[in-house]
Structure 1
């Protein structure tokens, strides 16, 4: 095999490996969007009846603050201020509802 062919094959294999690694990273559990805070603006209050689900993310390497993301019944996601008294009541209400079952 000629030296240029061998170099070409090595380059092609390296490119293929890079593409596979990039694809794995893009489809894996850790994405670039998870490495920063998701909530830029937060709401102080929201009508409890409009909430379909609630996700609470504790502080970590991705973000230094607790994030509360509510998915509304219309499909919209909104960020809630975890320090707001009404938001804390909503979280407690959901936690207590889970204990009652």
Structure 2
């Protein structure tokens, strides 16, 4: 028997395109990640992102006894405006308008209490 001739090397395979079902699944997963577990956001709820403004909509005020914590983020490279995010006692987070008189008084009271 004669020795077999060596085979020519195979050309590398091109990556297979994603099937329609895989693409749909990927899009659904991305959508779920963006919307979060609740699927909807309340008015004034912050949008979590690192390099952009968190608050797309703001509330003029909320009753003080509903607030558990307040976080004030000054303007900077991530956002051109000051943002006030209040954590409510039920766990929700809402954005408050930093120019509203009630919010200004609340921030001043917080600053005076910390000194």
Superposition TM-score tier, normalisation by shorter sequence: 0.5 to 0.7
Q: Deviations over 1:9-29 (max 9, x none)?
A: xxxxxxxxxxxxxxxxxxxxx
Gaps of 5+ in 2: 1-47
Q: Are 2:103 and 1:87 aligned? A: yes
How far residue 66 of structure 1 moved from its aligned partner, in angstroms, is 0.3
Q: Distance in 2 between matches of 1:92 and 1:75?
A: 24
How far residue 40 of structure 1 moved from its aligned partner, in angstroms, is 0.4
Q: Distance in 1 between matches of 2:68 and 2:112?
A: 16
Which segments of structure 1 move beyond 3 Å, counting only runs of 4 or more? Answer: none
Query: Which is higher, the Rg of structure 1 or of structure 2?
Result: 2
Equivalenced residue count is: 68
Q: TM-score, normalised by structure 2?
A: 0.56
Q: TM-score, normalised by structure 1?
A: 0.63
- Counting helix residues as a fraction of each chain, which structure ranks higher? 1
How far residue 42 of structure 1 moved from its aligned partner, in angstroms, is 0.3
How far residue 96 of structure 1 moved from its aligned partner, in angstroms, is 2.1
